[in-house]
Amino acid sequence: MILEFHTYKEIKQQPRMWSKAYELIRDRKSEISSFVHKWLDKGYQVILTGAGTSAYVGDALEPALFGTIFRGARSIATTDILTAPEHYFDAGSKVLLVSFARSGNSPESVGAVQAVEKTAGSVAHIIITCNALGQLALMQGEHILTVLLPPETNDLSLAMTSSYSTMLLACALIAHIDKIEDQKEHILRLADAVEAAMEKYEADIRRMAGLGFKRAVFLGSGPLKGVAEESRLKLQELTDGSVMCAFDSFLGFRHGPKAVVNGDTLIVYLLSDKISVQRYELDLIRQIKALGYEMASILICQTRPEEGYSGSLCIEIGLPISMPECYSCVSYIFVAQLLGMFKSIDYGLSPDAPSISGNISRVVEGVTVYN
C-alpha cells in the first residue's frame, strides 16, 4: 500500500537525488564558481531565504557553512523579509540572496525577491529550485544564477521531502564549488549510509508511529536544530495537526519549553557527532529519562554513545566524524519524514494530501503581496 504514495517514493529517492545534484553542480563548476566569486569578492553578504520548509533549509545551513566560502551566511525567512525588509537591508547593503523554493511560485518567495531589490543597494541572486516553470526559475539577468535540481525533486506530495534535502545539499555543494571534485566521496558515503539506514530502520519507525503519542518534540544542536525544526513540521503537517510538535536546541529546551513533555509525548533526539556537544545533550537525555515524563523516545546518531541508550529506539546512521556538518546534518531528516508518513496512515489520512480541511496546500495560497 505505501508504495502507492508519492510521499513514500519521494522519501526513498533522496539518496539518488543527492548524487544527481552533485553531478549537476560539478558539471557547472566553472560557471558557478565565476558567478559566486564575482559577488563575494566585492563583499556581498550571503542571505539564505525561503518560506516554511525552504526557510528551514537556511536555518540548518547557517551554522553549518562556517568552513566554506559562504561562512557568515545569515538565514532570514522570506516571510520576515516581506513584512519588514528595512529591518535587514538599507541602501548600503550588498546582498547575495540565495533563494530556496520547491515550486518557485509562492507569493512570499517572489515578493521577497522584489522587496530586497527595492530596499538593498545592490543585489545578486542564486536561485535553487526544483521547478523549471516556476516564477523564480524564469527570472533572468547577469546578476542571477539559477540552479535547477532534478525534476524528481519537485515533490508531488504536499510535504516537502526530497526537495528539502536536495536543496540543502545543493547549497552546501555550491559553498564548496572550488573543491567540488573532493566532495564526491562525501556525497556517495552520505547516500549509501542513508539508503542503508532507511532500509534497516523503516519497520522500527513504523512501529514507533503506531504508538499513541499526541505530542512530539525534536531536539538538535547547531545545524541539527534546523533539521529538528523541519522534522517538527513534517510530523505535524503529515498528521494534519493531530500531533502537535515542537523543536528546540538541547540546552534551550531546559529553559521553560521542557514543560511541554507529558505522558503523551514522543521525544526525538538528534545527537551531534561531536563529543564536546554530546556531553550537554546526553545530560539532558539522562535527566528526562530519570523524570520519566515522556511516553517514548528515539535517538538518531551517527554512532551509539559509549554509555549506551535506554530509550525506545536508537537509529545509527554510521557517517564518520570527518564528514562536514553541512552534509551529515541532512542524514537525520528521513526519520521524521517516515514517522510522519506512517502516522498519517495510522490516522486514516493520505500522506500525499493529509489536510482534510484544505487548511494547508502544496503551494501557499491567499497571500496578498502589498507594494
Mean pLDDT in residue range 50-63: 97
Are 163 and 240 within one domain? Answer: no
**CATH code for position 263:** 3.40.50.10490
Residue 366 lies in a domain: no
Please give the pLDDT value at position 147: 98
State which of 137, 155, 185 marks the end of a domain.
185
E-assigned strand segments in the chain: 45-49, 74-75, 94-101, 122-129, 144-148, 215-220, 244-248, 265-270, 296-301, 313-316
Can you name the residues that pair with 146 across neighbouring β-strands? 127
Are 153 and 223 within one domain? Answer: no
**Residues 14 and 334: beta-carbon distance below 8 Å:** yes
pLDDT digits (tens, 9 = 90+) for 180-213: 999 999 999 999 999 999 999 999 999 999 999 9
**Single pTM value for the model:** 0.95
DSSP state of 177: G
Are 255 and 163 within one domain? Answer: no
The Cα 89–Cα 85 span in angstroms is: 6
Residue 342 lies in a domain: yes
Are 300 and 176 within one domain? Answer: no
Supply the mean pLDDT for the chain. Answer: 94
Please give the pLDDT value at position 2: 82
What is the tally of structural domains in the chain?
2
pLDDT digits (tens, 9 = 90+) for 323-357: 999 999 999 999 999 999 999 999 999 999 998 87
Task: Of 60, 75, 56, give the one whose Cα is nearest residue 326.
Answer: 60
Q: What is the domain extent for residue 325?
A: 197-346
Q: Is the pLDDT of residue 51 over 90?
A: yes
The label of the residue with cell 557527532 reads 273
State which of 185, 207, 226 marks the end of a domain.
185
Are 155 and 220 within one domain? Answer: no
